[in-house]
Structure 1
Amino acid sequence: MAQHWTEVIPSDHYTVALNGLLHDYDRKILVFLYQPLIGTIAYSLYMTLWMEVEENRIWSSSSRNHHGLMSMMDLSLKEIYEARKKLEGIGLLKVYVKEGENREFIYQLQPPLSPSTFFLDGMLNIFLYKKIGKTQYTRLKRFFSDEEYSNLHSDYKEVTTAFHEVYTSGQQIAKEYNDDLSISPKGEWVDRMESVKIQIPWQTFNFSLLEAGLSESLVPRKALTQTVKDAISNLAFLYNIDVMEMKNIVISAMNEDDEVEMDELRKSARDWYQMNHRDELPSLITQTQPVHSLSITEKPKSKEEELIHYFDTTSPIQFLKDLSGGAEPSKTEIKILEDVMFHQKLPPGVMNVLIDYVMRKTDKKLTKAYVETIASHWARKSIQTTANAMALAKKEHQQYLKWAENKKVGKRSSKSNTKKAVTRTELLPDWFEEETSENKPVQQKQEQKDEHLDLNMKEFQELMKRRNGGGQ
């Protein structure tokens, strides 16, 4: 993600626009359906921008600078920028910019999805269910629905009079009236616009490979309509389904008319995920360290701060890719990350420190038992920032060595273990300083420093180059 100071500064101005009128009912939708997914700060930003537009208007009366928005919300510019990105990603905000001496932004608020569309979305509703649980989700479904009219009034019949039975057309309209009626407004109508569902781009899924692997007799090409492809790309993103698995899911959703049943497609994808994740559902997780848990809030001033900033602004999956030179993480590694982040609730930046520490000590193998042991320890310690994770790793290093020994497979004699414990050279991340090992011999500490094979500055620079697109 780009750094906020390169995207917006306090003196930059903005104007608020609405993509059609927003109604009071939208507030309930935003509070109950969107707020659990985007958080309170992003919700507050949406409502603050909305309030800048006068009632029954779709443009704010004047532009303001971001410094005023910071003061009004009592937030830093970075917090506002991160909240803005959440609104953009979930489809509640479109941003337009005009470059100049001072940039000028248009923040166009998008209406939320209607409850019926949201609960049938196939992606946002899954994330909401995972976030708030079955009881609250069921309560919200009842809150946004009511019993069908026909069920309540089954013994009634409709006797409504039709328009043509009441009204008739008068004399021919004069020409001057025709001219008036044909004139469009100079601006745009103040009206209610349809909200747009979230759609993952097709480019994120290899449809060519999918089609090549599908037999024409089982799945005709005409069955893969635009609607079906939209659903496939969303489901692949939601459940992290690869092409081979998706092929089987599509085949299972075919009906006797050689069409893909959309409900069956979603159900098959959900069943596949739950079968492989112990009946869990996917969570909408922040891919990088949350704003409130950042260790570095200003531009990094040292190499160590650059490394911390890198951990904070890189997703764990991307970090694994960087460590392996751009290669995709295995399914096993991804599952380890998911389990730890879901069950231990470790933030992404903290997870990156854990990955770095474990992989440097285990010959770049993400050992599940070892990761879970340290992760549970950090969770009990309520570690939420990258800097605190690095500090705790230094402090508890000797204890982690014992845990690593206990996890090793194979029988070794006590004598052999004792000998190796004295002579081994520990492989540690370059950020690791032996601040807590004052009693260790100077020569041994020097040997460890000299033999660090981990994330030294050269490797770190290579990681940053790959992350910025120079190595991929």
Structure 2
Amino acid sequence: MAMFWQGYGWCSRTYRPLHGTDLLALTHLYQPIIGATSIGLYMTLYHQLPLHRAGVSTICSQSYLLKLLSLSSQQMLEARYLLEGVGLLNTFEKKDLKNGSYYEFELIPPLSPIKFFQSEVFSLTLYNLLGKDRYIELQKMFIQPDTVESIQVSKNITKSFQEIFGSLSPHEMRKAAEIQKDHFWSWDQDDEGLIDGRFPEWNHDDLSVIQRHLSNQIDPHVWTKELEAELKELCLLYQLEAEDLLKLLRDPTITGRGQIDMNRLRSFVKSEYQMRLSHSLKPKQAQPQPLGSTSMKQQVTKQSQKEPLTEEDRYFQQLGMLSPLELLSYYQGGAKIPDCDINLVESLIRDYGLPQGVVNVLLDYVLQKHDRKLPRSLVQKIAGHWKRLGITTIEQAKEQARKELRNSKRQAETKKKNQQSVVSFNKNKQQDRQKKGSPSSEPVVQMSDEELLKKQAQIRAKLTLMREQQKRIWEEEENTP
């Protein structure tokens, strides 16, 4: 939670003045949700601005704002958070040489009544606070359904500017060019997204809004922490917005009889992701976008652009901005990601509990080292090792990958040296044998025919004697009672 420093100054900014409809929306639609104190803070900040145009107020002290509101610093901070939560206020902490540190409160006009009621978050919240009858009255007050539906034929007979005032003369056109040259602001500075208000945003970690929307479809005991963990995993892995997840869960083929079919949901999300990914890459002729390309560099945050980064640091920073499946899509070159690889990525996140950035570093390390292959057993072995080491950040994963790469290179060099030593030893030994002759070979004895016959006679005599001795032994054994 951001601190509230009373020593800081403050100023307010807006992109357009408020209209009458804006004031009605603030009073009847926003005030029941955030309270009168927050609306009072909004109007106080607004009336510090120049009237009837966009602009920036002068920098005042925090104590002056607290006195205007008759609030304590804690009450003012809570009111500010409520305005930020419903999209009516942006807060920036700034610092310059002239004014030092100060807050800039950027006032955002409220949504138009039609867009307000189109927002499921706002409409559901207002319905629960006011009740059905008052909610319907407000809808009738701001939205008239019978405007022009009964008119069958209409013709636009409005006169144009040229029909009333005629064309501009060359002299007047030169004057227009001079006026444009004297402009002291840039049209590109306006944020069109802030002119008509902003829809509310919520964190993916908080699924309570989705749970309330599905309270009539899902049994309360079904919505468990384990279910929330699986849904968060799907949002993280397949880059789902909360609105997308809510739309999927409302599908009767996925949610029915108070239960959620997670297998069907996963299968549907996988196919939708593959289709979305293939469509997004078709205009580029299904070519993978290098991680160091210009379009990827544009995604680097403004904070990182202020500090010089090496190519390696920028590369790993981009790894942290992708989902694991987006990383695989770059290596696939726009083709379909194999189901076994998708299941492997899901296992790394669900079973091993590795953060998204760590998974990306692991996959990138294995793909580059093993010729774009993803051996499942090897990836899981490394994942288990990194989990035991307690690796939770990209920086830690990067250092561990470097360490393992150095070890593998050192082992490869040692193995190569050993093989060279064995080959050299065998080669030298063979050369020595060729020079000296084999030490195990015996000299061949040359014998005459007479000596050979004499030798054979001696051998036959010995064999005859051995047979006679064996015969006597058998006879003695037979005669023995």
What's the TM-score once normalised by structure 2's chain length? 0.41
**Greater RCO (Cα-Cα under 8 Å, separation 6 or more):** 1
What's the TM-score once normalised by structure 1's chain length? 0.42
Higher helix share: 2
Larger Rg: 2
